[in-house]
A and B are shown apart, each in its own frame.
Chain A
């Protein structure tokens, strides 16, 4: 915990920056990952902290590749870090589960950034169970300072016990900033590859031996967990004891400053004796944890009567309010009259939007008009499911669009054309095998690849179609059309999504053809890597007949304060946000949208 005295030597770091800092201090040599909120900034911070390029850092094509690279690096003798969001670990789990058998040689730390509350995710799975499932140690920091400390500790534990270590954060750890005292980075050790086939070749005969090694290692880790400095007993008032970890610890300390707390930093394996001892000292034990009753169920299995999820929600993110409410419900804090909080007057909802000039808009406008069944995927374009585009019918997991489109098609349940809509980064991540499936099994299908050359949703990270690396170095750009044709697609038409008619025609043709037809919309994201700002457009008010056709784009730059026409709202373009994509101008039946020539981008009023 930071105190006032040491703040002068401390810096404010987010949890993600603190993990990067810890990894540098631990002498990490290879760092990999796939972008995913809330994990993305770890590798970006690592690159910023390493101008001398001591560390090899890459955005991998997916999380499975990322963990493979990291495991290889660890076996090659250098410390390796791999970062991903919680659902990314599902993709990486094939390797993760067996890496627990092989062990690592140099330290391997796997960061899973969970997203309780689903701020930017499709589910809120609790990845603490994955550590238990795989049989690897699990570390959970409760703020940025601990994120740094536990990252350093994770590398040490990984090497001492020859195991991958799961470092699990949550959005509220990853994106909260706190004071961290930092030490200088260490240059990576390069221990060298040492051949050891029984350890690294998981043929059944060797794997059976390694299974025993894994179980013995878990027993040793359980012993270590009892005395590890990562576990902290804070004895105070003995009437209530709280067992907690991660961010929940902070809320508990805030609500119950006097209580006795067992704060666990190493939550797999659990320290049974330490927990028994703590519970024997206090009159009553509460377990406060976010999401599922991971600690509670295991502690109850030790035969200890504890209470937890009776008082604290299992769904969503915990916060200071919900933890206090739960403690009040449990009778652990006095019932106090809630302060008369301000009521919020009615407000306008402000859901996330596709940006002005977003190249994803027009293809979805076309799909809506074609009445297609659209299986969608993960990215900014998932927002096409909401008003006014309303042109996406499913979104489940990275790359699911194509396989699900095959399924909808084969179900015989769709009378309309079936189109899979997938971003370029997502296609590279997990779309390719599904396209192969459609081709080889002879499914008639249209695949729309929304190629914006970046990973826009997470802030514009490089990917195989970008043509550069995480450090901005030029690299080979994968040619999507050539790739799809090589995989056996009948056609792969590249269109400019700013050309409304061409995009319509391309999709119309594709859904009418047999075999796998691919349409690739090719336009860079307007926000990354460079902000695209062309001459903005303006509405000639007297031409606008207030038909609202342009409003179907959902463009944030088109607003309703241009006066009235026959009692209906005329539109105005906010020139300060308009990117000049000219899409609305192509839709407008009265040619009311014209380039704002001779005027600097201003407020447009």
Chain B
């Protein structure tokens, strides 16, 4: 696109306010006399999934989608989504990111080892490939401005410094798109974001590092000792129903419990704890 044109990709997680942010930026572009197209996908993504919104502006815009490697700026409301969106950024483009970590249940699937499946938040490392990273803890900034939920508008404030839209256009767009009762907080959040000079993410990074201590303990599978003579089998079934890993079942006659998924046992000991007949003993594997 030419000089009087550009594109912004806004990304985040359902419920964070991606669509509203993009709508405000689109409205600001329109108020500056640009042709505008904006595209997002609704539907299943509302359910805690990834939300992306493409914004393109210029003298005349055709495609509502940004081609790979052509976004002038990415506004990421969440760290993992920032990394996912990176291929959209043009060389030399700006990545505006809140060091927000929203962990999806899919990050907790490795129960055997407790390894968290989430990319490390490493802003400095990212600067090696994306020189212009503007990271902040937008939620903390928004909280200081009056309402933590206005974190998306903090990032718009940061974005406003790299977009050719007038401050009046931004303010009018916020007034037109934000619900009246949240207007004050959003205006304050925008101003706070626009005023952010350097990175404001150090404290958040330290907090996230602390909260992620531990885990990833490599453990071998445990073994279960079941005393058949004491086990009531299907008459009871408490352990079969309560095993968090669905490791247990019954033998052919359903008179005693058997381990059916030994590999998945985390040695949590719940079966031993709940067995009314003391028929199960869990032996955690001894490290070699």
Of all chain B residues, which has the CB nearest A590?
B273
Residues of A at the B interface (CB closer than 8 Å) are 1-4, 7-8, 10, 12, 37-38, 41, 119-120, 143, 171-172, 175-179, 247, 250-251, 253-254, 319-321, 324, 338-355, 368-369, 380, 383, 387-388, 457-459, 545-549, 551-552, 554-556, 559-561, 563-564, 566-569, 589, 605
A380 to B242, CA, bound (A): 26
- Interface segment, B80-88, B164-172, B178-186? B80-88
- Let me know if B83 and A347 touch, CB within 8 A: yes
Q: Is the CB of A37 within 8 A of B42?
A: yes
Bound CA–CA A3/B33 (angstroms): 9
**Which applies to chain A's interface (DSSP): helix, strand, loop or mixed?**
loop
Question: B270, A38: Cβ atoms under 8 Å?
Answer: no
Is B114 in contact with A569, judged by CB distance below 8 angstroms? Answer: yes
- Per the bound structure, the CA–CA distance linking A563 and B104 in Å amounts to 18
Q: A12 with B26: in contact, given A176-B64, A348-B80, A564-B215 (CB under 8 Å)?
A: yes
Give 16 A-B pairs besides A7-B34, A178-B36, A569-B214 with Cβ atoms closer than 8 angstroms.
Answer: A1-B60, A120-B43, A176-B38, A177-B38, A339-B69, A341-B68, A342-B89, A343-B86, A344-B84, A345-B83, A383-B47, A548-B245, A559-B103, A566-B284, A569-B108, A589-B274
CB distance from B160 to the nearest CB of A (A): 19
Q: Does B87 contact A343, Cβ atoms closer than 8 Å?
A: yes
The distance in angstroms between the C-alpha atoms of A567 and B220, with both chains bound, is 12
Chain A CB within 8 A of B117 CB: yes
Q: How large is the interface on B (under 10, 10 to 19, 20 to 34, 35 or more residues)?
A: 35 or more
- Tell me the complex Cα distance, A560–B111, Å: 10
Whether B158 is near chain A, meaning CB under 8 Å from some CB there, is: no
Please tell me if the beta carbons of B59 and A3 are within 8 angstroms of each other in the complex.
Answer: yes
- A383: chain B residues at CB < 8 Å are 47
**A589–B242 CB distance below 8 A:** yes
| Distance of A345 Cα from B120 Cα, bound (Å) | 10
A561→B211 contact, CB < 8 A: yes
- A119→B47 contact, CB < 8 A: no
Would you call A254 and B69 a contact (CB within 8 A)?
no
Q: List 25 A-B contacts (CB under 8 A).
A: A2-B35, A4-B35, A7-B36, A119-B44, A120-B43, A177-B37, A253-B62, A254-B62, A321-B67, A339-B69, A339-B90, A342-B129, A343-B87, A345-B83, A348-B118, A350-B49, A353-B48, A380-B47, A383-B47, A387-B105, A458-B43, A566-B284, A567-B219, A589-B242, A589-B274
Q: Are B215 and A560 in touch, CB under 8 angstroms?
A: yes
List the 9 closest A-B pairs by CB distance, nearest first.
A120-B43, A37-B43, A176-B64, A353-B48, A176-B39, A352-B47, A320-B67, A352-B49, A341-B69
The reply to whether B266 and A4 contact each other, CB–CB distance below 8 Å, is no
Pick from B36, B40, B114, B217: contact of A179, CB under 8 Å:
B36
* B interface: dominant SS: loop
A552 CB to nearest B CB, Å: 6
User: A12 vs B53: C-alpha distance in the bound complex, in angstroms?
Assistant: 15
In this complex, the member of B64, B214, B217 whose beta carbon has the largest number of chain A beta carbons within 10 angstroms is B64
Assess the A563–B214 pair: CB atoms within 8 A. Answer: yes
Query: How far is B114's CA from A560's CA once the two chains are assembled, in angstroms?
Result: 9
CB distance from A233 to the nearest CB of B (A): 17
Identify which of A37, A251, A549 contacts B242 (C-beta below 8 A).
A549
Task: Determine how close the nearest CB of chain A comes to the CB of B108; give it in whole angstroms.
Answer: 5
Interface string of B189-222 (1 = CB under 8 A from A): 0000000000000000000000111110101000
Q: Flag if B37 contacts A354 (CB, 8 Å).
A: no
Cβ–Cβ < 8 Å partners of B254 in chain A: none
Residue of A nearest to B249 (CB): A371
Residue of A nearest to B284 (CB): A566
A566 to B14, CA, bound (A): 34
Are A353 and B49 touching (Cβ within 8 A)? Answer: yes
B47 touching A551, Cβ below 8 Å: no
Q: Is B137 an interface residue (CB 8 A)?
A: no
Contact of B30 among A12, A37, A172 (CB under 8 A): A12
Q: Considering only CB atoms, which chain A residue lies closest to B213 in the complex?
A: A563
Q: Which residues of the partner chain A approach B49 to less than 8 Å between Cβ atoms? A: 350-353
> For residue B130, which residues in chain A have a CB less than 8 angstroms away from its CB?
342
What is the CA–CA distance of A569 and B66 in the complex, to the nearest angstrom?
41
A127, B67: Cα distance in complex, Å? 27
Complex Cα spacing A562 to B40, Å: 35
Closest CB of chain A to B79's CB: distance in Å? 9
In the bound complex, do residue B103 and residue A560 qualify as a contact, i.e. CB atoms below 8 Å apart?
A: yes
Q: Could you say which residues of chain A place their CB within 8 Å of the CB of B66?
A: 320
| Contact assessment for A546 and B69 in the assembled complex, using a CB-CB cutoff below 8 Å | no
> Which residue of chain A is the closest to B45 with respect to CB atoms?
A352
Task: State the CA gap A354–B215 with chains docked (Å).
Answer: 26
A-side contacts of B38, CB under 8 Å: 12, 176-178
Q: Mark B85-100, 1 if CB is under 8 A from A, else 0.
A: 1110111000000000
Instruction: Name the A residues within 8 Å of B14 (CB-CB).
Output: 352
When C-beta atoms are compared, the residue in chain A nearest to B4 turns out to be A4
Give per-residue flags for B115-146: 1 if the beta carbon is below 8 A from chain A beta carbons, else 0. Answer: 01111000000000110000000000000000
